[in-house]
Amino acid sequence: MQRIENSGGLAARIAQSLRALWLVGILLASGMVYAPPAEAARCTSDSSGNWSCTHQQLDQSYHGNNGFGSCTGFAATRHVRWQVPEGTPPAGGWDVVFYYNGTVSTLTSLVDPFSAGPLDAFGFVYLPQIFHELLDDPRNTGRRYAVIAAEAPNHLGTEYWDTNSVAPYSASSDYCFLPALFNAVSAGTYGPAYQYNMNRRFAFGISSGGYNSSRMAATFNGNNNFKALGIVSASYATCSGAACVVPSPLPASHPPTKFWHGTLDTIVPIYTMHLYYDQLVSQGIPTEKVEHNLGHQFTADDLGSTGVRAFFDRH
């Protein structure tokens, strides 16, 4: 008898649930109940598996360096591309990832990091996939990131960051441009300021952009806003290729840092990364590294559980 009663109770509950679903359907159709919009992905892949991400672009204005550490020089602009995740930002805004590209010719498709393009030089085919992981959260971790990718200064048709090419750094163009960019994000130039949590910044980059990611620790983290760095095929901010001296000690505010580097890298020898990594270890600053048997490039190691997104998630 008890089993029969339970069966009858279950049937009644099912019928009640169906009536409730029918009523909700009527209310939705009438507009009396709010249904949150479906969230589409920012990034998609084509039939060949090449990823690209929608994005926005504007010219960021700033005043150049007068050569003496004062940003009162000529008026200038640089292209900045950015995208925010779909949907409503969390309280405090999306965490913000700044991506810094490596050295590129302004004539190549590699200038646009949101699209892999037809060229797979330096493993750039993986870059939009990294952006996809940051923007779309395909593994449903519950966290997503805004992505901002600024262009490096143009040096006679070639773009690379000033971090290791201008000394003192305080006389460089980037010394003026990067604070202008950060301030513009906070001021709402890149969409409503509430979208961005500029107290939780992250940075990663490859080659020249990897050195520039380190520059965030060397120069721009006085308020501990940068929570983690990712450095691909590069080393400390002032190193360049085989020439590398890592200061001791590093700044106390240096954020956790992860390296991805190839043992066959002839542009930035892997021992220069080891110098930086070892110094971080000696100071007790959280650090990780992935060494692969390829050269100066992004690899599949930059994705998934070993990748940029996963490292940032831990911080």
Residue located via tokens 């000696």: 282
**What is residue 266's predicted lDDT score, i.e. its pLDDT?**
97
Instruction: Check: CB of residue 256 under 8 Å from CB of residue 286.
Output: yes
162 occurs within a structural domain: yes
Whether the Cβ atoms of residue 197 and residue 284 lie closer than 8 Å to each other: no
Q: Domain for residue 21, yes or no? A: no
Q: What is the chain's length?
A: 315
| Chain position carrying tokens 């991506």 | 99
pLDDT of residue 273: 98
Please give the helix or strand (H or E) that residue 272 lies within, else none: helix 270-282
Q: Is there a domain that residue 29 lies in?
A: no
Beta strand pairing call for 257-262 and 287-292? parallel
156 in a domain, yes or no? yes
pLDDT for res 5: 34
Residue 20 lies in a domain: no
Q: What angle do CA 15, 20, 25 make, to 5 degrees?
A: 125
Residue 164: other Cβ atoms inside 10 A: 23
pLDDT tens, residue order, the chain (315 aa): 333 333 345 454 545 554 544 444 544 444 444 344 455 799 999 888 889 999 999 999 999 999 888 999 999 999 999 999 999 999 999 999 999 999 987 766 556 889 876 556 799 899 999 999 999 999 999 999 999 999 999 998 899 999 999 999 999 999 999 999 999 999 999 999 999 999 999 999 999 999 999 999 999 999 999 999 999 999 999 999 999 999 999 999 999 999 999 999 999 999 999 999 999 999 999 999 999 999 999 999 999 999 999 999 999
Full domain range(s) for residue 74 = 42-313
Residue 135 belongs to some domain of the structure: yes
Torsion sign over Cα 276, 147, 183, 152: positive
Say what the pLDDT of residue 50 is: 86
Q: Domain tally for the chain? A: 1
pLDDT, residue 48, reads 83
Q: Are 148 and 185 in contact (CB under 8 A)?
A: yes
Q: Which two tokens stand for residue 257?
A: 């840092």
pLDDT digits over 276-285, tens only? Answer: 999 999 999 9
Identify the CATH number of the domain in which residue 84 sits.
3.40.50.1820
100 membership: H or E segment, kind and range: strand 94-100
Position 222 in a domain: yes
Is 11 part of a structural domain of the chain? no
